[in-house]
Structure 1
Amino acid sequence: MSTLRIVTVCGMGFGTSLMLKIAVEGILRKHGLRAEVIAWDLGSVKGQPADVLVTSRDLERHLAGTPARLVLIDNLTDKAELEQKLLPVLQALQHDGGQHGM
């Protein structure tokens, strides 16, 4: 199985995507999961390989049509929300083997 690639996305590629990256890495450690986690800005993410995109709900329209699975967060500071939404996606991808869509 290839390593899952999780990309955290924000409009400019600075604060929010880095904050989400750190939170995702913490969730992975907590659950003994492995994945490559990258923080990108919205402009850089298009056309790049990824299995999962984690971003705020307000960027959903910009990522429409992506083959990567979207994890849309309403409250970016709520780690419990992130964990609740991310874990089922990661578990499903582990069963599927990861694809690196996009």
Structure 2
Amino acid sequence: MKTIMAVCGSGLGSSFMVEMNITDILNELGASSEYQASHNSLADATADQAEIFVTGKDLEASASHLPNLIVLDSLLDRDELKAKIKEKIGY
């Protein structure tokens, strides 16, 4: 199973919220059998923990060491998240 990991500064609030949205989007797209969502703090996230990482624009420079990075202009914009996930996973 491939992982899409949401990362934020503390690994608690916003990354958990984005993880829940990723899970919903994967279910909507019918991709939940291939992908799962998780979350972590930026400090603890390593490149081998997931195939795709998601973070906010404010952490883009700090997260540049992570592969396949999705940068969100707004963590609250579910449509933006869905469009960017679809583009990355090809669904």
Say yes or no: TM over 0.5. Answer: yes
Aligned length: 89
Q: 1:25 to 1:59 in 2, by over 3 A?
A: same
> What's the secondary structure of 1:5's corresponding residue?
strand
Identity %: 28
Match of 1:30 in 2: 28
Q: In proportion to residue count, which structure has more helix?
A: 1
Match of 2:71 in 1: 72
Runs of 4+ aligned residues of structure 1 deviating over 2 Å after TM superposition are 46-49
Question: What is the TM-score with the length of structure 2 in the denominator?
Answer: 0.89
* Counterpart contact for 2:12–2:41, Cα < 8 Å: yes
CA RMSD, Structure 1 to Structure 2 (Å): 1.5
Structure showing greater Rg = 1
Match of 2:88 in 1: 89
* Counterpart contact for 2:10–2:41, Cα < 8 Å: yes
Residue type of the alignment partner of 1:7:
M
Task: List gaps (5 residues or longer) in structure 1.
Answer: 93-102
Question: What is the TM-score with the length of structure 1 in the denominator?
Answer: 0.80
Residues 47-70 of structure 1, C-alpha deviations (whole Å, 9 max, x = no match): 54211001101111112133x211
